[in-house]
Structure 1
Amino acid sequence: MSGKSPFDLDVLGSKDAKADIGTRLDREIERLRTTPTPVARAISTGDSLMGIFSRTRDIIAANFSELLDQADDPAKMIRMIILEMEETLVEVRASAARTIADQKEMHRHTVKLDRLQADWGDKAQLALSKDREDLARAALMERRKAADMADQLKAEITVLDDALRAYEADIAKLQSRLREARSRQSQIAARLESAENRFKLRNLMTNERVDEALARFDQLERRVDYAEGRADSLEIGGKGKKTLADEFAELEGGDKVDEELEELKRALGKAANKEG
């Protein structure tokens, strides 16, 4: 195999060289032309993309208080809102991931196109150095095509940069609203539980079974009162029997009475003697 460059003078002058020159680069250019760019794919699915943005904007601008006030079942409504927000957040993140992937693919294309421009520029210079102005012109035209495609891709990359910033802002807002919605859900759940407990309590207080239970308590209290009364009556009956201490106390009390009686007698005797 010859080690000569495809742009050697003798090769440039051959008929086959004219057909083969830049074949690899031509194929690459053609592939880039026929392969839809990421932005083109995004435009082709613009309806779904706009749908996501529309849902995102609606959720961000939603008035939770108004929605809940108008709902017949606030707990169910807040669950639906949170579910919708979570699904939208997943879709927005997925769209952002696809956009990042498309942007990376575009960067790879621009690098390839920059190399193509350099290659075609080298070809044009070589062709002119060999007095092949026709080949130089063709190479410059191909370089111009590659440059135009690179400029288009760079413009599309700028558009995707703006889209990614919008995604980032929307994701942050969605996360904030999602936290708010979950907080409202907790508040609603607490209020609902409190209301249910109050309802159960009121229902319990007006329940006939409760009245029956209270009546049974009254009967039990009466039975306890009767048992206590019997015990008290036994104690009262026991008070009629004298204890040993009681008998000694009576003896001591009797002695005092006798002493007082003798004193009265002596006093009366003295009084009678004086009268006599």
Structure 2
Amino acid sequence: MFKFFKRMKTIVSSELNSMLDKAEDPVKMLDQFLRDMGEEIQEAETAVAKQIANEKILKRKADDAQAMVDKRQAQAEKAIVAGEDELAKRALQEKKEYENQATLLKLSYEQAENDSQVLKSKLDEMKKEYQEMSLKKDSLKARAESAQTRTKINRSMSSVGGDESRRGFERMEEKVLRFEAEAETSEDLSTQSRTLDDEFKKLDSDVDDELAELKRAMGRE
């Protein structure tokens, strides 16, 4: 379990560049790695809890065996006082059996207690590493998102200055210039047309004035 956790940490620390080179999304992969780590921690917590429970059971059994040793010792002494040597011998015999049990159980308890301390220490280490990787994940996610954004912007900027875009821009510029030229031409034609009409109106006005002047001279007004 703990070896798997260390392998997971190694993957996150050393294989990020490999993920970036592939089609894998590093943000999603980092989230998955942390989820796997979290599951390993939960399994480790369960194992530690079981070990501590086993330790407590052995401690209680060792204490019970030692209590029976003390009890049989007291009973043997009481039997001797009562002159019951045979009863005292039976009590001492059971005392010896309980002493053997107490010795074995005490050794088992001490070993279980040591194992519990080791597991708790490793669990604390796993949790510490998880917190460190969680913080690192946030930093890596921010860096990955920033890099992806910069890549998109750079690609957009490069496409803006591309030959196809430039040719399209120039084509539209030519079209606008052509529209402007056509507008100026139509204005010139309109001006010429108005000037010609004005000249004819002026001519008609001069003839009318001349006719009126002639009639006055001939007394024909």
TM-score where L is the length of structure 2: 0.64
- 1:55 paired with 2:7, answer yes
- How big is the shift at 1:101? 2.5
After superposition, residues 195-274 of structure 1 pair within 5 angstroms as 195-206=151-162, 208=164, 211-212=167-168, 214-227=170-183, 230-231=186-187, 234=190
Matching residue of 1:184 = 140
Aligned length: 189
AA in 2 matched with 1:175: Q
Contact 2:41 2:127 in 1 (8 A): yes
**TM-score, normalised to structure 1's length?**
0.53
Shift of 1:184: 1.6
Whole-Å Cα distance in 1 between the matches of residues 136 and 6 of structure 2?
20
Say what the alpha-carbon RMSD is for the aligned residues.
3.7
Task: Give, in angstroms, the shift of residue 214 of structure 1.
Answer: 4.4
Max Rg structure: 1
2:46 to 97, 105, 128: 97
How far, CA to CA, are the matches of 1:198 and 1:90 in structure 2? 40
2:36 corresponds in structure 1 to: 87
For structure 1, which runs of at least 5 residues remain unmatched after alignment? 1-48, 242-276
Distance 1:189 1:161, change over 3 A: same
Alpha-carbon distance, 1:161 to partner: 1.7
Sequence identity (%): 12
Give, in angstroms, the shift of residue 236 of structure 1. 8.2
SS in 2 for 1:76: coil
Alignment partner of 1:148 is 2:85 = no
| Matches of 1:152 and 1:126, distance apart in 2 | 28
- One-letter code of the match for 2:133? R
Q: Which moved more, 1:124-133 or 1:206-215?
A: 206-215
Could you tell me which runs of 5 or more consecutive residues in structure 2 were left unpaired when the two chains were aligned.
Answer: 199-221
- Whether 2:117 is the aligned partner of 1:164: answer no
Which of the two has greater helix per residue? Answer: 2
- Going from structure 1 to structure 2, the CA distance change for 1:214 and 1:118 (only over 3 Å counts) comes to same
**C-alpha separation in 1, matches of 2:93 and 2:11:** 55
Residues 169 and 232 (structure 1), Cα distance of their counterparts in 2 relative to 1, 3 Å cut: farther
